[in-house]
Amino acid sequence: MDPIRVMVVDDSVVVRKIVTDVLSEDPAIEVVGTAINGRIALGKLAQLEPDLLTMDIEMPEMNGIEAVRAIRAGVGGSRRSRVPVIMFSTLTERGAAATLDALSSGANDYVTKPANVGSVAQSMESVRAQLIPKIKALTGRPAGSARVAAPPPAPVRPPAPRSGAVKQPAVLVIGSSTGGPEALAKVLPVLPASLPVPVLLVQHMPPVFTRQFAQRLDRLCPLRVVEAVDGTPLAPGTVHLAPGDHHLTVRSTGRGLQTALDQRPPENFCRPAVDPLFRSAVDAYDGAVLGVVLTGMGSDGRIGAGAVREAGGAVVVQDQATSVVWGMPGVVASAGLADEVLPLERIPEAISRRLGAARATASVPATAGGRR
């Protein structure tokens, strides 16, 4: 019945106190130590043996990105090289760029620092709402449990029987969350520029982050990747990424199908959310949809995946072994709504096969295949 052991790494006394106080209120979490920079954190890893680190980005001597790279390289003890790391980021262009660098260096997730809040109590509530669920998800802690352990393999139900044939997909829709940036950076660059359908993508991210993320993916991919704007005609070869704080859906018009953005209430506590995108694609394309659900916490995408299969589309999800958090793909698989449950490296081939696209390459280096 051991609590989750957390080390808080931040050069700000105020932030260290806020985070420590918030985490200490939860009986399932124990703050076992703090550090004012990455170098000191590395020195404490073997001694404290934390189950997870929260890591500031900008710190003296060794910043958070350098610390993540060192941890993943085994500095501080190879036994701790895979310890989950959650970055603390600012909601700015610079903060977004640094956070994406940290994720590509091996960080697991991030939270944004409270900004423009009027009191310490509000700051604490912001940290509590963002951070504690992610700590528990990344350490395999079921809600309400007092046990730290890897979760047992979740049951995968065989897909429900179909009343008719699977429709040839006319659109690809993808949903992801925790661990999604790195998963997408491995899937999308392997898809050919000749992909015969448009692609719409929801990655749970705030504003500013989505713009930077779209630009990064665009540099890596043969496909064109853009942050979605309202009213863009849908055409093959372009990936539309939902902008932060906006739902992305498909709109039917007299001139054809277009992207649509709105700020209706969050679904599954998320905006953008996966379910509205999947449902709208089913309506607009009469069920001729291929839905893909990648790593992420929560259950966003389950209802949408059900709509896709019921209308004659197909659903592919990432397996538990390769997911950072098997929440979103896990609920789809356990509900019997997944046509295929695959490791991440096999998902590009499944997409190309189901779309009838040119055969995807087995693997593509991170900088290869992109458009110059």
Residues designated as active site: 177, 204, 300
Residue with tokens 């999604």: 180
The residues, ordered by sequence, that sit 6+ positions from 54 with a Cβ below 8 Å of its Cβ are 6, 7, 8, 9, 10, 19, 85, 86, 87, 88, 131
**Amino acid identity, position 135:** I
Distance CA 28, CA 4 (A): 6
Alpha helices in 109-237 (DSSP H): 120-138, 180-187, 209-220
Is 123 in a helix, a strand, or coil?
A: helix
**Amino acid identity, position 186:** K
Distance CA 297, CA 22 (A): 21
Check if the beta carbon of residue 258 is closer than 8 Å to that of residue 171.
Answer: no
Of 220, 175, 178, which is closest to residue 199 (Cα–Cα)? Answer: 175
Distance CA 337, CA 332 (A): 5
Beta strands in 244-339 (DSSP E): 247-253, 256-262, 289-293, 314-318
What percent helix, strand, coil does the chain show, rounded to 5?
35, 20, 45
